[in-house]
Amino acid sequence: MQGSQSLILMMIIFGIMYFLLIRPQQKKLKEHQAMVNALRRGDRVITQGGIMGKVTAVNEADKEVEVEIAAGVKVRVIRSTIATVLNKTEPAK
């Protein structure tokens, strides 16, 4: 009797942990992946390092984007290091 009660209690605790910690984290990760995959030229972004700039080129093969941080100053960053997209551009027709 004692063993089955502790097993049920552990299952309840795991269920609570799943819904409070694991599931929201997975949802946030999927949203970030979708945001990064939707990057295109002209988007204004902030990197995880705090650098603000405008996407000038997207390299699908290397998973890199080129970001212009000042007039004539461009840096290449890994797509997954983009933290936020400030302004989305309209898709090209």
pLDDT of residue 1: 63
CATH number of 39-93: 2.30.30.100
Q: Which helix (H) or strand (E) holds 87?
A: strand 82-87
- pLDDT (tens digit per residue) in 22-65: 999 999 999 999 999 999 999 999 999 999 999 999 988 888 99
pLDDT of residue 43: 93
pLDDT at 9 over 90: yes
| 44-47 sheet: strands from edge to edge | 73-78, 64-70, 52-59, 44-47, 82-87
Tell me the domain boundaries of the chain.
1-37, 39-93
